[in-house]
């Protein structure tokens, strides 16, 4: 049995989605959350899940944008398997989220800035290529990297200045 492949997205469509996510991340940052946003597209290119960081607002250590998008998409899809789907997120998923994406059998993950401290897809460790990974996925990082990195850096600078 052949599994469906994720939709092919050209750079123009990916950049448009990332710009939407940057706008959402900006709103999230203004609310005091780390500005990270994620979406899941089905094999037709439709958004079936979106998430934003809500750890502080919900007092939830699992309130990561990727996990929220996964829960929503699973509910809409009526399935926990995402072989044909694509996640787009502004920051490289952490190791917890990377593990969840592998468990969910996500077809493709596209992200903006790398996370050298906690990244699960190459920043700190690459779980998608680890010998223990039972599911292989396509991972593309560095899409609009500088813009994503700058958005996060500026948010953290502003937060530090507010504490002074």
| pLDDT at 100 exceeding the cut of 60 | yes
Higher per-residue pLDDT: 123 or 164: 123
Whether the predicted pLDDT of 4 surpasses 70: no
Environment class of 160 (CB within 10 Å of its CB; exposed 0-12, middle 13-18, buried 19+): exposed
- Which residues are known catalytic residues? 66
Alpha-carbon separation of residue 27 from 20, 62, 79, 156, 158 (angstroms): 11, 20, 30, 15, 14
- Strand partners of residue 38: 51, 89
Q: In angstroms, rounded to a whole number, what is the distance separating the alpha carbons of residues 37 and 88? A: 9
157/153 Cα distance (integer angstroms): 6
Cross-strand bridge partners of residue 121: 126
State the Cα–Cα distance between residues 104 and 114, nearest whole angstrom.
Answer: 22
Please compute the mean of the pLDDT values over residues 57-76 and round it to a whole number: 96
d(CA 156, CA 101): 27
Residues in the chain: 164
Model pLDDT for residues 115-141, shown as the tens digit of each residue: 999 999 999 999 998 888 778 899 999
Q: How confident is the model at residue 1 (pLDDT cuts 50, 70, 90)?
A: very low
């Amino acid at each position: 049995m052949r599994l469906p492949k994720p939709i092919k997205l050209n750079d123009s469509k990916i950049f448009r989605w990332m710009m939407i996510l940057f706008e959402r991340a900006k709103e999230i940052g203004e609310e005091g959350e780390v500005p990270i946003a994620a979406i899941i597209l089905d094999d037709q290119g439709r958004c079936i899940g979106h998430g934003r960081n809500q750890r502080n607002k919900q007092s939830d250590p699992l309130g990561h944008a990727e996990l929220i998008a996964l829960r929503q998409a699973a509910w809409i899809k009526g399935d926990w398997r995402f072989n044909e789907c694509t996640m787009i997120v502004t920051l490289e998923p952490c190791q917890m989220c990377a593990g969840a994406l592998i468990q969910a059998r996500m077809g493709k993950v596209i992200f903006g800035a790398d996370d050298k401290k906690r990244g699960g897809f190459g920043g700190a460790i690459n779980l998608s290529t680890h010998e223990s990974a039972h599911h292989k996925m396509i991972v593309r990082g560095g899409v609009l990297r500088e813009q994503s990195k700058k958005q996060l850096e500026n948010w953290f600078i502003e937060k530090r200045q507010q504490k002074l």
